[in-house]
Amino acid sequence: MSPRLDAAGNLRGLRPGSVSGSAVLYLGSHIDTVPDAGAFDGVLGVVLAIALVKALGEHPLPFAVEVLAFSEEEGVRFGVPFIGSRALVGTIDSELLNRLDSAGITVAQAIRDFGLDPAGLPAAKLPAATLGYLEFHIEQGAVLEDLDLPLGIVTSIAGQSRFELLFTGQANHAGTTPRGRRRDALAGAAEWIGCVEREAVTAPDLRATVGQLEVRPGTSNVIPASVYATLDLRHALDSVRSEAAASLLDAGNRIARRRGLDFHSEQRLDQPAIPLDPELICALERAVTRSGSPVHRMVSGAGHDAMIMARSCPAAMLFLRSPGGVSHQTEESVLPEDVASALAAGAEFLKEAESMYA
């Protein structure tokens, strides 16, 4: 392959097609991860893609294959995910380039510090002649393990809503303030968190998480004056996710009024569910079957670069089993036999693509 770095720091390796100017099939994933994470989230998909190209040897294909190692998917440094794949679909704008990290460095400056030029971002975009994108990734959950299956074909990526919320009451002495005079922000937030859990149980397949709490003043003998909380909602159906969000925000308002609190919410993300390409899904299904693995279709609860790529080209994903359902931790792992199954399915997928292109 001919390697290059684009202006977003994506490492790309191109294997030309047998015909000059032929369309491109993209394979890959991301190479960044989160603090204290394991060794397989993202980077496994890049290594699998390289291995598939290596296995082709001198076999000519009527299309080009480009391996993508996306520079930034997790959003750890700047709080915005998918910077690498956004470059390929052309959605990096001035607002994103001016976003600051904790040290006050902008995305644009970070690109320059890496020796690249943000002015070159338009050249990173996908060409018009794009066959599609296939991403290999560990599942990051326990569905495949519970079913004792090595692989899963992703049909869609769940939509996400993220909110920041603030319950505000009044700080007062813990020992001298009677129950009827308390405006306890933490008690209100705790009641609301119970509503979040019940909503997740009531709505099938809804994922609802309160991942962060900040209690102020945070002193053992002072009634909490305010509680900052986050809410993460995910579902394959946008209507279910939207209804859950409305219900939980309404619950926050009702609880606050009854307890004499103020309640404020702000939506930080509204990412619709992304269906992946039906034709590529069927091709991947045939490839998995011919490789000798059982076929299992599933929804991804986590976001991936494939959801960004799907905005501009057909996209598909193949999950590998995550032992213990563990990811974003040092214990993250894969089974060697599952990697072999993914490679076999990937090789069959390239044959499918060859027949489709012909």
pLDDT per residue as tens digits for the range 213-270: 999 999 999 999 999 999 999 999 999 999 999 999 999 999 999 999 999 999 988 9
- Reading the block at residue 262, the tokens are 């103020």
Q: What is the helix (H) or strand (E) element at residue 196, kind and residue range?
A: helix 185-202
For the residues 314-321, what does the mean pLDDT come to?
98
Give the domains, in start order, of the chain with CATH numbers: 2-158+274-357 (3.40.630.10), 163-271 (3.30.70.360)
CB 151 within 8 A of CB 321: yes
CB 273 within 8 A of CB 237: yes
CB 317 within 8 A of CB 298: no
Torsion of CA 190, 191, 195, 198, to 10 degrees: 80
What was the pLDDT predicted at 283?
97
What was the pLDDT predicted at 50?
98
The tens digit of pLDDT for each residue in 78-89 reads 988 899 999 999
CB atoms closer than 10 angstroms to residue 1: 15
What was the pLDDT predicted at 279?
97
What was the pLDDT predicted at 298?
96
Angstrom distance (rounded) from CA 353 to CA 77: 37
Cis peptide before 204 (omega within 30 of 0): no
CB atoms closer than 10 angstroms to residue 176: 7
Residue type, 211: G
Tell me what percent of the residues of the chain surpass a pLDDT of 70.
Answer: 100
φ, ψ for residue 191, nearest 5 deg: -60, -40
What was the pLDDT predicted at 21?
83
For the residues 165-192, what does the mean pLDDT come to?
97
Q: What is the helix (H) or strand (E) element at residue 306, kind and residue range?
A: helix 305-309
Crossing angle, helix 238-259 and helix 185-202, to 10 degrees? 150
Angstrom distance (rounded) from CA 138 to CA 160: 20
Q: Is the pLDDT of residue 358 over 80?
A: no
φ, ψ for residue 7, nearest 5 deg: -70, -15
* Lowest-pLDDT choice from 16-25, 48-57, 347-356: 16-25
